[in-house]
Every structure is written in C-alpha cells, then in structure tokens.
C-alpha cells in the first residue's frame, strides 16, 4: 500500500507543488504502468467511482488517455459532450459544472481555453478536478509523463539539462514542465523565435537561448513543441519552412547533440516542421514512451486523488 | 425486495398511469438515490443487460443522466449516434429500430421530434422503451424527477399547488407534469403569454392564470420552463426582454411568493430570461436537486422495467 | 473449450483463408450467439482487454456491432474519434496508429477508405487487427455473418448457389463473400449494370450473369448490395429509378425465384431502390438475422484472436 503524501484533492498544476508530491506521483505511475503490461489490464481499485471528462477544446489523445486510465482502474467514465450539449446553447461553464456535480461524479477532467477554469471548478465543489490543459497556463499530467519518461532514461531528474524548443509563450506544456523540472532539480533552457518567447519568461527559472544550435551540445533532453499552425497568424510565424530551418530538429542537429540525448514531443507531431521524420522515428526518440507513460501517470493521479485508503496494485 | 406493481414493459408517458405505479417509482427512486451517495456508486442489479440510447434531438444532460443511471446498475450502455449513422443517409426510424432490436438490447431510451415515436418502437418489439421526450407530447422521466423533488420538500404531493410558467403549449415537460401531478392529488396552475398557452389546455385539468403575479401568492411550487429561443419565431415572442419583464422570476417576485415556496427549472437555464441569476442560485431553488433526482428516477425506471425478480439495493 | 486452429493474429480478409478456419469461426459464432439470448448477456472471457475502434469512414452499425461484441465479452472498448482527433489536424495513419499502440490495446478494429490500411497496421505492431472494411477490398466480418446466416437456413454452404446483385466492382462485401463462399464450396453468380461490374471479375471464381432475371431461377440466396448514391456520379448510374427497374428486387421477382430462396442485404437498405419494402420485410428476408449474427461473428473473432487459452462460453 502506497502511503500518499498528496495533501490535495485536485491536480491543477505543478507550480508550487512539493518535490515529495511529484516523487510520489512518479513512483505510483511506475506501479500503474505494470497494469497495462498485463494480459488482464485492469485493477478493481476505483470500481463504482465516476470520472467525467469535460473537454472544451478537442484533444482525442489526452481524453482517450484519461479514459483508458480510468477504465483500467475499473472506474465508470462519462464523456460530457460539449459540442452537442447546452454549452452550445449558451450555458455558462459554472452552470454546466453545477449540473455535472449534481450527478455525483468523483472526479472531473477538464480542458478549457481559459486560464483558471479548472481552479474555478475546484473551488466550487468538493470533487477532484484534474486539469487537462487550461489556456496557456498549465497541462500538469503532460509534464508529469514527460518527467517520468526522463527519469526512466536517466535514473533521476536531479541535475538534468532539459531544452524546450518552440513556442514557449503559448505553451502550457512548457510551463508545467518548467515548474515541475526545476522543483525536481533539473535545469531548463528554452529556445524559440523571439515573438514566441516574450511572455513572462523573465519571471520563470529558465535560461533563454538564442537558437536551437546553442542548446544542442548542452542538453540531455530535447523537448520539441508542436507548432500550432491553426493558432498563429502570419505575423507571428513568417513561414513554416523558415521555422523548420531555424528551429526544426533534423538528423544533422541530433548528431551535434550529446550521444545520450533523448528527443521528446507531446504529439501530435508535424513531421518536417518542428521535427524531421527520421528523428521522430529514430533511436533517440522517446515519443511513444511518452504516450505509454501518459496512461500510467493518469492512473496514478486518479488513484492518489480518489483511491485514498485503497490498495495500490502490486507489481 | 420491492414488490413491483408496474404492469407495463415501457415508460411512454404519465397520462393514464395509476397512482400506485407512480408511488412505486418514486419510492424506488429514493432507494436508488442512496447508491449515488455511496463511495462505490454501483449495484450489480442489471449486469449483462444492454441499454441503448437513441437521441434524434440533442440533449447531453438527459442522455448523460440515463447513461449514468444504467452504469450505476451495472448495465452496458450503447449510444447509437444518429448524426453519423445511416439515419443521416436517409434510413427510416423503423429501419433503425429493427437494426438495433436485432442486436438484442434490453431497453432503448429514445428522444424524437415526433409525438408517438416511442410508442411506435414499443408496439414493434418486446423490448422496454423509455420515452426521453417525444415532440410536444411527454417527457415522463423529467416529470417524475420533478415530483420526487417536490415530495422530498413537502412530504407528499397531495394538495400541493404547482404553478408552471412559460411556453405551456410547446412543453412536454409541462404536459407530463400535469398528468402526473393531478394523478397524485396536486393541483396545477399554468401561466404564460397567450400565444404560448393556446394548445389543448381546455382539455387538461389545469387552472389558467393570466399572469405570473396571479399565481405567486398561491403556489407551493414555481416551475419555470425554458424559453426555447431557437424554436420560436419573432411573432410568438415579441422580445426576450419583454418576456423577462412579464414572466421572468426575479427576486422581487420570489419575495411575494409563499415563504416555503420552491423554485424549479428543468435546465439548462437562461439566466436573466425566465429566471434571474440570484433566484436560480438562491435558497428557494431546488434546480440541482432535480438533476440528482434525475439519475435516481432513471435508475428506478430501468430497475422496475428490466430488473423484475432482482433484488433492489438496500439503503 | 474450443480448440482454435486459427493460425493468425489478425482478421484482414477471407482471401486465402482455409476452410477449417472459416468453419471454426462459424462454429464459435454459434456458441457466442447464445450469450446474446441470455438475460445476462455477458461472459468474462476478455475482462481487462482493450479493444479500440478506429473508423475513418462513418458506420454506426458496424462500429456498434463490434463494440457490443467486445462488451459482451467483458472487454473495455474505446472509440478513437477520428473527426475530432489529430487526424483532423493532418496526422498520418501511421502516427495515429503508433499513438494508439503505445496505449497498449489488445485489438484495433479499423475501417479505412484505402485498400490495405489494416494490413499496414497489422505489419507494424503485434496487436490484433480486425478489418472492418478497407477501400473496395474486403469486409470479412460482414461476409462471415452472411455465411453464418446462410448456413443457419441451409445447414451447409456446400453446393449453395449465391447470387450477388448490384455494384460488384465497388463492393468489399461482395469480394469477401466471393472469397469465403467459394472456399466453403458454394458457387457465386454476380449481376449488375455493366459499369458496376467491370473490375477484376475475370480473375475471381464467379459466374457473370447479364441480368437479375437470369439468376432468379437458379439462386438459393439473393444478396442485394446497397446502392451508394453518395459515392457514384451520374455517369455510372443513369438514374435510381432505372436501377430499380432493371436490378431492384421486388415481390414479382421474388415470386420467380426458388421457393426456399432467402433474401439478404448488408444494410442500411434503400427501400424502393435495390430492394422493395415488402421484400425487405417479407418472409424470405433474413436481413435482421444478419444483424444478430453480426454480433455473434464479431464476438467469435475477438475471442479466437484474443482469447487463446480462455474457455468459451458454454451453450
């Protein structure tokens, strides 16, 4: 049985989270990962609990990952379909939340375009809220799965040098990783086009590089961010081709990196833009390990937040 | 074990239903409500049964409520997606029904824009049909959850005075409530703009008021209907603002009502139109109790229609 | 316990499949059919396994049938929603597949507009791939359910004369049936407008008839294909009315067929086009038996591919 030091009912973000808490989540995720490797990929831990997914932005992979995590813990899942719901008829976030809460779910997994939406839901009700991405703020389960993937490869996060490359200013993945990694003793460098990096970088504990080439020889981890073509106007991004030239990770650049470097990407990837196809599929890539660890981390979060007093699965 | 006097395989409407049957449903729903309050919100009663939802009109909250009810009874649920199905290729209701029936479901929960669609499905096959709203005819599970919510507050429905305010002519919620409430000994007053009240009110056992202000001092229950802006043309509804002035329930009006009055709404609410925000969130509102009771009533219906011979959960 | 001679991890098509394998699938499907007739329509055989459905073309009935089949074997199902997924953002089939594979499913049920897509997924990973329709190539579970339905009526497929009428050239249903039926000793005649029959018929072991009237007196089975109005241009199909006249199955034509003839259709039907309403609903029609057998065949396939070493349900 895992003694849980998680002194919280929600997972809203990694900012301000204690080292011991993150450690517990990663350790629990390692146990959970074993479940998905079994023939019977299911433990009864959360039988009879209800987990609702409430996604105001589309994301099949994150939603699927949370749903599979819940099912493998035997919870019932319910996807609240925003597109066909009363939200489409103009209902407010809080009225939607009140209705869902009245249905007695144990946890709600929420993605919303506005920073702070999950925090609002958390303060309103005693349920557990799991932030699956809020505006440009945080995406904590993504950062936790990234950190588990790094720990798998390097044994520890302490002293690790992680370079994040791309649109830092608009990336909740980058922000959650910066908070989590620095808490765990890693150092973070960021590199990206100027217009993509302004933001509040000054206040974050990161080193700002001028180009991807500057970080290559130093980094243990190269984390490439997805270019959200649909989100950016022409002024921000002169051209996709130019982006690939200056910030894309191709094989030539990987060869200038440390031999033990690992290449990460939160997916879905734009082949030939932020990452070349042969790098994404190459032997330094751990992109699919990230997906596998995503389910493990989300199982750990659901277990730690909802399963207090339950036995963890044994390995 | 509940002795079920439900002498029917379907729940098509409350018109003509006997008092003892409604009583059984409400009593059973009270037992079922306990299940959703437990940590393990699940009983094995309907394990291995299949409940299909077939919604030709969007309604996330009603569909979700039925699905959660089925899951908490351990039934398998299957949502037949009309939008992507052969219905979109022009298949008729009956051909869709035949196909679903051939898949051996135990119950089908149907919402359809035409009055009588569920009755058609009921006559065609020996499965249980639950009407989740048909045209402007009935929406029985909504009325049953409304009645359970009133009974919770007042102990009995006998002698209760219920005012329904809004578009009575187009409201299946109003019609089912009128049938159910009068059977249970309550009296029903209706108030709404003339164009919204014509219909067959003359044949229904209701008292017609000329304004909301007329019903305020008499009613134990104020049930506000949702204005379906999308359904009504400009001729029917001069303006939303005017509607709010003449028929909206604001705090000033609540203060002229009986002190023990309760305020109900089937949701989703249009804040500031048929109901003011501070009334919807105020201490007379039981709107969220309605949502909670919705799951309990739907569990009761599924149990009573499908679970004959099974033990009910004990409180 | 069924001794499985299925020497494969996938069900990609019936071309090249051995007679003993098809026999095993049909025999197992008969056992599985009993499960859907029980009150508790569920066996624990695939508890804790994950079955993913990945449909790039809409098909509620096939997808629903596979999902119900998986649920009745107690597997967890997950529908990967292509429309809202990163596929819509331009992700390739293989990147989608890699992501899903990293989530540790046991089987993926795939429908895709391109011939060979399921084969690609099968070669890429050690999971079980079930082809739910690829381009104009194969739709094996449909042909197997068709064959089970014929065997139910005639006792054996050996020597049976099956006529397939319609757009042979574009029909994966026709192709899978041709492969399966001829392997099992049946003979196949095809009839359809010239433009709809060209294709590679020459290489297939079928007899080509010039009109539906030519096959009527010979056929034990009349299998009518669906006219895909949305797929065909005006050049291919002069008019739907003309099609009905020359190739539609009406009551008059049924009366010219053998008395024991059965009428089949993969659904959804176009009443009045390829089949008259009174024929679809008449006593020679086995269209709904096909739907029921669809679940049984898909349960058998999932069991035989995933459940090696598990006990089959007993009748």
pLDDT digits (tens, 9 = 90+) for A72-110: 999 999 998 776 566 655 678 999 999 999 999 999 999
> Taking CA atoms, what residue in C is nearest to B104?
C36
d(CA C99, CA C284): 47
Interface list for chain A against chain C, based on CB atoms closer than 8 Å: 36-42, 58, 60-61, 64-65, 67-68, 71-72, 230, 267-271, 288-292, 294-295
A86 pairs with which residues across the strands? Answer: none
The closest of C49, C188, C127 to A38, measured between CA atoms, is: C49
CB B136 within 8 A of CB B116: no
> Taking CA atoms, what residue in C is nearest to A57?
C84
Point out the residue among B40, B58, B295 whose CB comes nearest to the CB of A103: B295
Question: Quick one: pLDDT band at residue B235, thresholds 50, 70, 90?
Answer: low
Higher pLDDT, C4 or B150: B150
List of chain A residues whose C-beta atoms are within 8 Å of the C-beta of residue B267: 86, 95, 99
Q: What pLDDT score does C1 carry? A: 42
Q: For residue A201, give the DSSP letter.
A: G
d(CA B194, CA B197): 5
**Cα dihedral C12→C14→C17→C21 (10° resolution):** 90
pLDDT in tens, A181-197: 999 999 999 999 876 76
* Domains, chain C: 19-137+293-306 (3.40.50.1370), 140-291 (3.40.50.1370)
Interface test with A, best of C45, C48, C78, C87 (most A CBs within 10 A): C48
> Taking CA atoms, what residue in C is nearest to A65?
C103
3-state secondary structure of B270: coil
Q: What pLDDT score does A311 carry? A: 62
Point out the residue among A268, A271, A295 whose CB comes nearest to the CB of C103: A295
Contact B41 A47 (CB under 8 A): no
Interface test with A, best of C67, C103, C127 (most A CBs within 10 A): C103
Contact C64 B80 (CB under 8 A): yes
Residue ranges in chain C assigned as alpha helix (H): 19-37, 60-72, 93-101, 117-124, 140-154, 172-183, 194-197, 212-215, 240-247, 251-255, 277-280, 287-306
Pairs of CB atoms within 8 A across A/C: 72
Q: For residue B84, give the DSSP letter.
A: T
Neighbours of A270 (CB within 10 A): 21
**Quick one: average pLDDT of B13-32?**
97
Q: Phi-psi category of B101—alpha, beta or left, where left has phi over 0 and alpha has psi -120 to 50?
A: alpha
d(CA C294, CA C292): 5
CB B57 within 8 A of CB B82: no
List of chain C residues whose C-beta atoms are within 8 Å of the C-beta of residue B48: 38-42
List of chain A residues whose C-beta atoms are within 8 Å of the C-beta of residue C103: 36, 64-65, 68, 291-292, 294-295
Q: What is the full per-residue pLDDT of chain C (315 aa) written as tens digits?
A: 455 558 799 999 999 999 999 999 999 999 999 999 999 999 999 999 999 999 999 888 999 999 999 999 999 999 987 765 656 556 789 999 999 999 999 999 999 999 999 999 999 999 999 999 999 999 999 999 999 999 999 999 999 999 999 999 889 999 999 999 999 999 999 999 876 766 667 788 899 998 999 999 999 999 999 987 665 566 555 678 888 999 999 999 999 999 999 999 999 999 999 999 999 999 999 999 999 999 999 999 999 999 876 666 664
Point out the residue among C36, C64, C269 whose CB comes nearest to the CB of B104: C36
Q: For residue B89, give the DSSP letter.
A: G
List of chain A residues whose C-beta atoms are within 8 Å of the C-beta of residue B65: 103
Report the alpha-carbon angle A7-A10-A15, nearest 5. Answer: 80
CB B69 within 8 A of CB B298: yes
Pairs of CB atoms within 8 A across B/C: 72
The owner of tokens 């204005």 is B227
What's CA B174's distance to the chain center, in Å? 9
> Taking CA atoms, what residue in B is nearest to C56?
B84
Report the alpha-carbon angle B110-B176-B169, nearest 5. Answer: 100
Residues 6+ apart with CB under 8 A from C55: C62, C63, C79, C82, C109, C110, C111, C132
**Predicted ipTM of the assembly:** 0.90
d(CA B191, CA B196): 9
């Amino acid at each position: 049985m895992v003694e849980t030091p998680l002194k919280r009912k929600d997972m809203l973000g990694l900012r301000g989270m204690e080292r011991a808490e993150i450690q517990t989540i990663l350790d629990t995720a390692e146990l959970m990962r074993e479940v998905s490797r079994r023939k019977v990929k299911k433990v009864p831990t959360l039988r009879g609990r209800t987990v609702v997914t409430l996604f105001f932005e589309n994301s099949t992979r994150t939603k699927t990952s949370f749903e599979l995590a819940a099912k493998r813990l035997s919870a019932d899942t319910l996807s609240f379909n925003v597109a066909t719901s009363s939200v489409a008829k103009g209902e407010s976030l809080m009225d939607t939340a009140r209705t869902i809460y009245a249905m007695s779910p144990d946890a709600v997994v929420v993605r919303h375009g506005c920073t702070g939406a999950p925090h609002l839901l958390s303060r309103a009700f005693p349920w557990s809220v799991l932030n699956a991405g809020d505006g440009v703020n945080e995406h904590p389960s993504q950062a936790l799965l990234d950190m588990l993937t790094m720990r798998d490869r390097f044994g520890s996060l302490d002293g690790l040098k992680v370079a994040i490359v791309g649109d830092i200013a608009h990336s909740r993945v980058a922000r959650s990783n910066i908070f989590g990694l620095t808490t765990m003793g890693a150092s973070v460098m960021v590199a990206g086009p100027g217009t993509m990096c302004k933001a509040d970088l000054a206040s974050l504990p990161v080193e700002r590089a001028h180009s991807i080439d500057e970080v290559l020889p130093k980094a243990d981890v190269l984390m490439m961010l997805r270019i959200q073509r649909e989100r950016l106007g022409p002024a921000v991004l002169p051209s996709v081709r130019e982006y690939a030239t200056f910030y894309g990770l191709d094989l030539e650049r990987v060869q200038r990196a440390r031999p033990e470097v690992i290449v990460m990407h939160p997916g879905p990837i734009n082949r030939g833009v932020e990452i070349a196809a042969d790098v994404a599929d190459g032997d330094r890539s751990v992109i699919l390990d990230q997906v596998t660890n995503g389910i493990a981390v989300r199982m750990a979060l659901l277990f730690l937040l909802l399963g207090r007093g339950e036995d963890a699965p044994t390995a």
